[in-house]
Amino acid sequence: MAPSYDVIVVGLGGMGSAAAYHLAARGQRVLGLERFGPAHNLGSSHGGSRIYRQAYFEDPAYVPLLLRAHELWEKLAMDSGHEVFTQTGGLVIGREDSQAFAGTLRSAQQWGLDHEVLTAADIRSRFPTFKPGADDLAFYERKAGVARPEATVTAHLDLARVHGADLHFVETVFGWQADGPGGKAWVVTDRGIYTADRLVIAPGAWASNLLSDLGVTVTVERQVMYWFQPHGGTGPFTADRHPVYIWEDPDGTQICGFPALDGPDGGAKVAFFHKGLPSNPETVDRRVRSEEIGAMAEYLRLRVPTLPTRFLKATACMYANTPDEHFVLAQHPEHPRVTVAYGFSGHGFKFVPVVGEILADLATEGTTDHPIALFDPRRVRPDI
Ligand SMILES: Cc1cc2nc3c(=O)[nH]c(=O)nc-3n(C[C@H](O)[C@H](O)[C@H](O)COP(=O)(O)OP(=O)(O)OC[C@H]3O[C@@H](n4cnc5c(N)ncnc54)[C@H](O)[C@@H]3O)c2cc1C
C-alpha cells in the first residue's frame, strides 16, 4: 500500500508546481502527479516568456494579487538561483478609449500605481521600434517585465523536492474521490491509487476531464507564438532597452510582444492575445502554417516594422478560457477537501507564485487572506 500524503497535487504545470512548492515548504507531505515530463511544452506554460504587469485592464481586483506576486517572483529568483523574472518596463498601446489602454489607466489610478502616459510622439522618440498611429497613446509601467515559464516551473519543482515532495512524472490521473474509504481523498492513476487528506487539482487545458462537475466550462483556444529576427539584429530589442508590450487596434485586436531574450540569434517573440482557434487538448494542431506566419508578419509591418524581417520559429500553446475569462480558484463547493485552480484564460502566468500561495492557504487552512471572490465557481452556477 502506497503511503498516505497530506496533499496530492494533480498537474505540475504553472499552478500545480507552485502549489507543490508552497505546500512542501509549509511542512506538508506532498505528492505531485503530472502526465507529461517536468516543464514540458504540451500545455500552457512554455515558450520562454510571459508578460507580467501590475495595472490590470481585465479587472482592478487582480491588482493586490499582482503586487504580492511581484514579491514572490523576487523571492523565487533568490531561493532558486534561476532567472525566473526580468523587469523590462511595459507599454500598453491603444486609442484613449480602447479596452487595454483605458482599463489599464483606470486600474492604475484606482490603486495609485506608478505610471506615465505617453503620446504617439513620446512613444516614437523613447521606443523607436514602434510606429504608433497619430491617435495612439501608451501607458508605461516601469515594474512590468518578463516571467520565464519553463524556468519558473523548474524552480518550483526543484524547491518542492528540496522540501521533501514526491513528484511523479509521466503518470496520468484518471479520477479522484473526495470522500473515499477511510475518510480520505483518493486519486486513481495509470500506475496506482494514492490517498491523502486533501487534493489540489490544477489540470490546465485538461480541466474538463477532471472538473466537469463544477459547472464552469473551459473552452480551449490554440494560440501561436512567433519569433522573428529584426532587421539589423536584436540591438534595439534587447531587454535592457525594449519593454514588453500589448497593442490594441481600433477593431479590438490585441498583440503581445517581448524584447529579444535569447541572445543575438534568438529573435523577439510576438503573439495575438485571444483570436486563436477553438481546440481540444488531445487533438490540438501543433503545426503552424505558413499563412499564419505571413498574417502575423503582415500585421507587424505596420506597427513594429523592423521586427518581421526573418521568421525564426513558431509554436502552439493553449489558453483554457472560462466564459468571463476570470480564473477559477477556490475550494470545491461540494468537497471542502479539494481545492481547484483552472481556467486561467490566457492571462494566468504572471500570477503563478501567488496562486501557489493561495492554493497552499486553501488546502491547509480552508481559507486565504488574498482577495479571490472574483474566482468563485459559483459565479457561473449559483446552485452549487
Ligand atoms: C501563447 C500563450 C501566451 C500567454 N501569455 C501570457 C502572458 O503574457 N502573461 C500571462 O500572465 N499569461 C500568459 N499566458 C497564460 C498562462 O501561460 C497560463 O494561464 C498558465 O500557464 C496556466 O497554467 P496552468 O497550470 O493552469 O496550466 P499548465 O501549465 O498547462 O498545467 C496543467 C498541467 O496539468 C497536467 N495535467 C492535466 N491533466 C492531468 C491528468 N489527468 N493527470 C496528470 N497531469 C495532468 C498537464 O500535463 C499540465 O502539465 C499565455 C498562454 C499562452 C498559451
Within 8 A by CB and 6+ apart from 34, the residues are 11, 12, 13, 16, 167, 168, 169, 170, 171
Q: Is 22 in the pocket of ligand 1 (CB under 6 A)?
A: no
For residue 62 the three cell numbers come to 487582480
- CA separation, residue 140 to residues 91, 165, 170 (Å): 5, 41, 42
Q: Is 35 in the pocket of ligand 1 (CB under 6 A)?
A: yes
CB 136 within 8 A of CB 95: yes
Give the chain's residues under pLDDT 50: none
CB 5 within 8 A of CB 23: no
pLDDT at 8: 98
Q: Is 267 in the pocket of ligand 1 (CB under 6 A)?
A: no
pLDDT at 1: 59
SS3 of 7, please?
strand
Q: Is 346 in the pocket of ligand 1 (CB under 6 A)?
A: yes
Q: Residue 65: what residue type?
A: L
pLDDT at 3: 79
Q: Express each pLDDT in 195-251 by its tens digit.
A: 999 999 999 999 999 998 888 999 999 999 999 999 999 999 999 999 999 999 999
CB 83 within 8 A of CB 73: no
CATH number for the 5-45+150-216+324-375 domain, one of 3.40.50.720, 3.40.80.10, 1.20.1740.10, 3.50.50.60? Answer: 3.50.50.60
At how many degrees (to 10) do helices 63-80 and 352-365 cross? 100
Q: In angstroms, what is the span from residue 14 Cα to ligand 1's centroid?
A: 6
Which among 356, 89, 311 is positioned nearest to 202, based on CA atoms? 356
Q: Is 317 in the pocket of ligand 1 (CB under 6 A)?
A: yes
pLDDT at 128: 96
| Helix (H) or strand (E) run with residue 16 in it | helix 14-25
Round to whole Å and give the CA distance between 40 and 247.
29
> What are the extents of the domains in the chain?
5-45+150-216+324-375, 90-142+219-321
Round to whole Å and give the CA distance between 54 and 263.
27
Q: In angstroms, what is the span from residue 45 Cα to ligand 1's centroid?
A: 5
Q: Residue 27: what residue type?
A: G
Q: Is 32 in the pocket of ligand 1 (CB under 6 A)?
A: no
pLDDT at 256: 98
Round to whole Å and give the CA distance between 240 and 260.
10
Backbone phi, then psi, for 268, in 5-degree steps? -125, 145
Same fold, 5-45+150-216+324-375 and 90-142+219-321: no
Q: In angstroms, what is the span from residue 329 Cα to ligand 1's centroid?
A: 14
CB 243 within 8 A of CB 261: no
Round to whole Å and give the CA distance between 380 and 384.
9
Name the closest-CA residue to atom 45, ligand 1: 11
Q: β-strand 244-248 against 90-94: which pairing, if any?
A: parallel
Q: Which fold has domain 90-142+219-321?
A: D-Amino Acid Oxidase; Chain A, domain 2 (3.30.9)
Mutate to test the pocket of ligand 1, among 188, 275, 349 (most ligand atoms within 8 A of CB): 349
Which among 266, 43, 66, 317 is positioned nearest to 153, based on CA atoms? 43
Residue 95, CA atoms < 13 Å, CB-side half-sphere: 8
Round to whole Å and give the CA distance between 123 and 279.
37
* DSSP character string of 83-97: --EEE--EEEEE-TT
User: What atom of ligand 1 comes closest to residue 210's alpha carbon?
Assistant: 41
**Cell 466537469 -> residue:** 212
* DSSP character string of 177-239: ESS-GGG-EEEEESS-EEEEEEEEE--GGGHHHH-GGGS---EEEEEEEEEEEPTT-SGGGBT
**Cell 490540438 -> residue:** 284
